[in-house]
C-alpha cells in the first residue's frame, strides 16, 4: 500500500494496490497545472485509490473536454487527474509519502514540451500519448 498527501496535509489518500506506469508529461496543460516544465504522474487503478481525509477540501477543475484535475483548495497541491471513460487515475508522484522503487519510465507529449527545457536522460520519448 502507498499513501500520500497534499502540501498542508489536509488531504490524505491511500493507494491500495500496485503503482502502474509512471511518466513525465510535457503537455501544455500539465505544465500549467504543475507550474513547471512537466508533471511526474503514475497510473493507478481507480478502485485502488481512496481519499482517507480531507475530501471536503478537494477542488475539481475540468481542464479539457475529457480531463478533470483534483487539487487541495487550501494549499493548491495538484493531486490526481481523471479522464472521462477511463477507470484509472493519474496520481502526482510528488504527493506520495511512501517510498517507491521506480520513477517515471518515459516522457510523453514531448512535441509540446517547454522550449526552455532540455531532456538529458535516456528514457523513451513519445511525441504525444503512446498507445496502450
Here the CATH number for the domain that contains residue 95 is 2.170.150.70
**How many Cβ atoms are within 10 Å of 102's Cβ, its own excluded?**
9
d(CA 104, CA 113): 16
* Number of alpha helices (DSSP H) and beta strands (DSSP E) in the chain: 1, 10
Q: Which domain holds residue 60?
A: 2-112
Q: What are phi and psi of 33, to 5 degrees?
A: -65, -30
Query: Residue length, the chain?
Result: 132
- This prediction has a pTM of 0.90
- Write out pLDDT tens, residues 57-105: 999 999 999 999 999 999 999 999 999 999 999 999 999 999 888 889 9
d(CA 116, CA 71): 27
Identify the weakest region by mean pLDDT among 14-18, 44-48, 93-97, 127-131. Answer: 127-131
Count of domains observed in the chain = 1
Amino acid at each position: 500500500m502507498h499513501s500520500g498527501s497534499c502540501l498542508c496535509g489536509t488531504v490524505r489518500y491511500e493507494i491500495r494496490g500496485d503503482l502502474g506506469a509512471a511518466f513525465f508529461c510535457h503537455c501544455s496543460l500539465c505544465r500549467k497545472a504543475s507550474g513547471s516544465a512537466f508533471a511526474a504522474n503514475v497510473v493507478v487503478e481507480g478502485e485502488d485509490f481512496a481519499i482517507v481525509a480531507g475530501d471536503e477540501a478537494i477542488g475539481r477543475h475540468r481542464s479539457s473536454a475529457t480531463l478533470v484535475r483534483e487539487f487541495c483548495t487550501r494549499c493548491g497541491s495538484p493531486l490526481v487527474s481523471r479522464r472521462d471513460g477511463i477507470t484509472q487515475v493519474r496520481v502526482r508522484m510528488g504527493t506520495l509519502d511512501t517510498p517507491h522503487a521506480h520513477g517515471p519510465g518515459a516522457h510523453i507529449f514531448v512535441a509540446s514540451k517547454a522550449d526552455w527545457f532540455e531532456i538529458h536522460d535516456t528514457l523513451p520519448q513519445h511525441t504525444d500519448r503512446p498507445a496502450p
